[in-house]
């Protein structure tokens, strides 16, 4: 699968989001002016994943390769390298500051000083055995205690500090996702960068202004809810709660005794709503819907009051949002947010979710639509496409020289795992 195509068009970027419900691919091209043109997007249903993580390598990998092959056919191209999104409940992140003295006699800061400061920050992270740091995001620098320095190289001082945001997770579990690019039959696609899903989503939908004001991104997919909080243009906090759309489905299946996932999904898509306080909602009071509950008896329908459907979904969503809110609050991120909450992921399509988020967080909420692409087809301007499109942005930023990470994480993986 090695690509002639790529050698001719080095600016092509392929994003791969191996989601719990859908494997999504997007192909973009970085233009000389730095803008991104979206050339195509594709998705297939995924199998072998739960809570954002690979449980069955063969199933997941075959879905990934199916998505890759179909995209190759659709766009008449070959894919040799992909940017991959990573998620899972084990992923954690934290801010760390590294301090170094400036070594040069003149006091002028060199790129090496910057690397040393970042390295010092990194050295300050104590993570348990088996975990690996897979993002070291450089946020800002301090020269002699003065903050707000974006690029300290060339400045003069005696002490350099680097604020970094580190993201880490269990190496083997991250590896399981990347391993999907090695198929059983020996096919292999290279991994360009691997990016925390939440970070990718935030890149796709958040504007500079929002990040400055302070904003929370929630990507609620099928298996996981990723949260990212920005303030003053920088990441404050990121994390994953492995509760999302599949839990909505689970509760519906169990609560309403529905025999099949497919029917449960259909019910949620058709009648689902998480409007706050469903039991007090006069609009649904006394209303019922007739739904199929068993694939075995397709003629058998059951009449269910809407109130029950809404209540089951509302309680799950309310709880999920509250847990995330609590986590953000515990780290002081909530107070730093002036802009509001931006929702992405498939569950952000659920009616009432914006209202519920507003009521739980006590701030405005909107559904985030990926933006900043040329040639974007309507189909791609959807909240669940945030992660995969964010991957393109991430790779484009790195490629454009704004590379803010030291290299070789992939190699580091290989060493550690």
Partner 1 sequence: MNSKTAIPNVMERTIGGGVHGPGERKMRIRVVGVGGAGLNAVDHLAANPPGGVSFMAVNTDTQSLGASMIAEKLQIGKQLTRGLGAGGDPDLGRRAALEDEQELRDALEGCDVVFLAAGLGGGTGTGAGPVVAKVAREEGALVLAFVTLPFSHEGEYRGRVANDGLAEMKQSADAVVCIPNDKLLVLASEETSVLDAFKPADEYLGQSVRRIWGMLSQGGLINIDFADLRSVLRRQSGETLIGFGEADGPDRIQQVVDRTLKGPLLSGDDLLGRATSMLVAVTHGPDFTMKQLQKLLEEIRQRMGPKVACKQGIVVSGDFVDRLSLMVIASTGTPLLDKSPESAAPADAPAQPEKSAPAPRKATDEKPVATRSGGRVGGREKAEAKVKGAETSPAKQGLFDLDSSASGIFAKGEHTVVNGQDLDVPTFIRRGLVIRSL
Ligand X SMILES: Nc1ncnc2c1ncn2[C@@H]1O[C@H](COP(=O)(O)OP(=O)(O)OP(=O)(O)O)[C@@H](O)[C@H]1O
Residues that bind Mg ion (CB under 5 A): 19, 221, 387
Question: Could you say whether residue 221 binds ligand X (CB under 6 A)?
Answer: yes
Instruction: Summarize as ranges the residues that interact with partner 1 (CB under 8 A).
Output: 50-51, 55, 89, 241-243, 246-247, 249-251, 253-262, 278-279, 285-288, 290, 293-297, 299-300, 302-305, 307-308, 311-312, 315-316, 318-319, 323
Nearer to partner 1, 20 or 140 (CB): 20
Least distance from C-beta 82 to partner 1, angstroms? 27
Question: Could you say whether residue 315 binds ligand X (CB under 6 A)?
Answer: no
Nearer to partner 1, 62 or 293 (CB): 293
Query: What H or E segment, with its residue span, contains residue 173?
Result: helix 171-178
Question: Could you say whether residue 390 binds ligand X (CB under 6 A)?
Answer: no
Nearer to partner 1, 259 or 382 (CB): 259
Residue 96 contacts by C-beta under 8 Å, 6 or more apart in sequence? 121, 122, 124, 125, 163, 164, 165, 166
Q: What is the DSSP string of 246-311?
A: HHHHHHHHHHTT---HHHHHHHHHHH----S-GGG-TTTTT-EEEEE--SS-TT-EEEEEHHHHHH
Least distance from C-beta 110 to partner 1, angstroms? 46
Question: Chain-centre distance of CA 389, in angstroms?
Answer: 10
Question: Could you say whether residue 368 binds ligand X (CB under 6 A)?
Answer: no
Contacts 24+ apart (CB under 8 A), 292-299: 292/263, 292/266, 293/256, 293/257, 293/258, 293/259, 293/263, 294/258, 294/259, 294/260, 294/263, 295/259, 295/260, 295/262, 295/263, 296/259
Nearer to ligand X, 216 or 234 (CB): 216
Least distance from C-beta 346 to ligand X, angstroms? 2
Nearer to ligand X, 157 or 368 (CB): 368
Question: Contacting ligand X (CB under 6 A), which of 98, 278, 345, 352?
Answer: 345
37 burial type by CB count under 10 A (0-12 exposed, 13-18 middle, 19+ buried):
middle
Radius of gyration of the chain (CA): 23
Nearer to ligand X, 163 or 265 (CB): 265
Query: Could you give the C-alpha distances from 92 to 88, 139, 166, 169, 340, in angstroms and in order?
Result: 9, 17, 8, 6, 22
Strand partners, 12: 29
Nearer to ligand X, 165 or 247 (CB): 247
Question: Could you say whether residue 265 binds ligand X (CB under 6 A)?
Answer: yes
Question: Could you say whether residue 350 binds ligand X (CB under 6 A)?
Answer: yes
Among partner 1, ligand X, Mg ion, none, residue 294 binds (CB under 5-8 Å by kind): partner 1
Contact set with ligand X (CB under 6 A):
19-22, 52, 87, 221-224, 244-246, 265, 268-269, 272, 345-347, 349-350, 384
């Amino acid at each position: 699968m090695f690509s002639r195509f790529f050698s001719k068009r080095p600016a092509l970027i392929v994003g791969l989001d191996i989601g719990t419900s859908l494997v999504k691919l997007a192909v973009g091209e970085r233009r000389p002016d730095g803008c991104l043109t979206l050339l195509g997007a594709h998705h297939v249903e995924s199998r072998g994943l739960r809570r954002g993580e690979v449980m069955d390598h063969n199933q997941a990998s075959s879905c990934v390769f199916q998505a890759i092959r179909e995209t190759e056919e659709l766009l008449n191209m070959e894919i040799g390298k992909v940017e991959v999104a990573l998620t899972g409940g084990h992923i954690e992140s934290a801010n760390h500051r590294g301090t170094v003295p400036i070594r040069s006699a003149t006091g002028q800061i060199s790129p090496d000083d910057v690397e040393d400061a970042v390295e010092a920050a990194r050295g300050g992270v104590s993570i348990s055995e088996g975990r690996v740091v897979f993002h070291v995001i450089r946020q800002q620098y301090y020269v002699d205690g003065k903050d707000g320095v974006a690029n300290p190289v060339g400045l003069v001082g005696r002490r350099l500090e680097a604020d970094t945001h580190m993201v880490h997770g269990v190496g083997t579990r991250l590896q399981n996702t990347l391993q999907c690019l090695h198929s059983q039959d020996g096919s292999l696609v290279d991994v360009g960068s691997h990016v925390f899903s939440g970070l990718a989503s935030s890149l796709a939908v958040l504007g500079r202004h929002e990040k400055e004001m302070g904003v929370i991104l929630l990507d609620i997919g099928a298996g996981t809810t990723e949260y990212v909080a920005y303030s003053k243009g920088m990441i404050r906090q990121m994390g994953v709660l492995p509760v999302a759309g599949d839990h909505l489905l689970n509760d519906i299946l169990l609560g309403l005794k529905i025999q099949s996932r497919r029917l449960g999904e259909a019910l949620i898509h058709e009648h689902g709503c998480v409007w706050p306080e469903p039991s007090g909602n006069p609009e649904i009071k006394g209303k019922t819907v007739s739904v199929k509950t068993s694939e075995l008896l397709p003629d058998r329908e059951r009449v269910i009051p809407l109130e029950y459907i809404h209540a089951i979904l509302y309680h799950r969503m309310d709880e999920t949002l509250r847990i995330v809110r609590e986590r953000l609050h515990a780290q002081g991120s909530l107070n730093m947010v002036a802009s509001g909450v931006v929702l992405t992921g498939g569950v952000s399509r659920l009616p009432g979710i914006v209202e519920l988020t507003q009521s739980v967080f006590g701030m405005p909420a909107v559904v985030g639509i990926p933006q900043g692409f040329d040639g974007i087809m309507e189909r791609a301007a959807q909240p669940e496409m945030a992660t995969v499109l964010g991957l393109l942005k991430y790779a484009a930023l790195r490629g454009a020289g704004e590379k803010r990470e030291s290299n070789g994480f992939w190699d580091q993986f290989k060493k550690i795992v």
